[in-house]
Amino acid sequence: MVKEFSISTSRQTEMIEITSSVVSAISSSGVKNGTALVYVPHTTAAVTINENADPSVKRDIIYELNKIIPFSDNYTHAEGNSAAHIKASIIGESITVVISGGKPLLGTWQGIFFCEFDGPRRRKFLVRIAKSEQ
């Protein structure tokens, strides 16, 4: 079962928590034990799991990524968004979370974040739920 979600980003670079969307995809699937794959079908956006308690963590991740991968450098890609492509590849296009008892088995401080690196844009992400034997 694959569920598609739309998301509107409002900044050039931002992290938006999507944990509740993943929880709802799992709930509507009826799967109690298995895995949920969250996949971002874009070349300048990504998905990650990180702390959802202190918003400073998001800020610090973005701040450091922007420092390590500057918006302007000696890039050759004509579209002018190489920094976004590089960030997307570093963070990655998918995460997998274990489903147990019909819920994602996340740690206390973990949340799932859609990462925009070339916004604002209308984006989407996919959640694929797979049932396991136990």
State the residue number with the nearest CB to Zn ion.
79
Near Zn ion in 24-83, by CB under 5 A:
79, 81
Closer residue to Zn ion (CB): 55 or 92: 92
* Binding flags for Zn ion, 76-115, as an x/- string (CB under 5 A): ---x-x----------------------------------
Residues sharing a CB contact under 8 Å with residue 58, sequence separation 6 or more, in sequence order: 14, 15, 50, 113
| DSSP conformational letter for 78 | T
Question: Which residues partner with 51 through β-bridges?
Answer: 110
Closer residue to Zn ion (CB): 9 or 81: 81
- Total binding residues toward Zn ion, as defined by CB under 5 A: 2
Output the six-digit token pair for 113: 């974040």
Are the C-beta atoms of residues 127 and 20 closer than 8 Å to each other? no
Closer residue to Zn ion (CB): 23 or 90: 90
Closer residue to Zn ion (CB): 4 or 79: 79
List % helix, strand, coil for the chain (3-state, nearest 5): 25, 35, 35
Q: Using CB under 5 A as the criterion, which residues of the chain lie in contact with Zn ion when the complex forms?
A: 79, 81
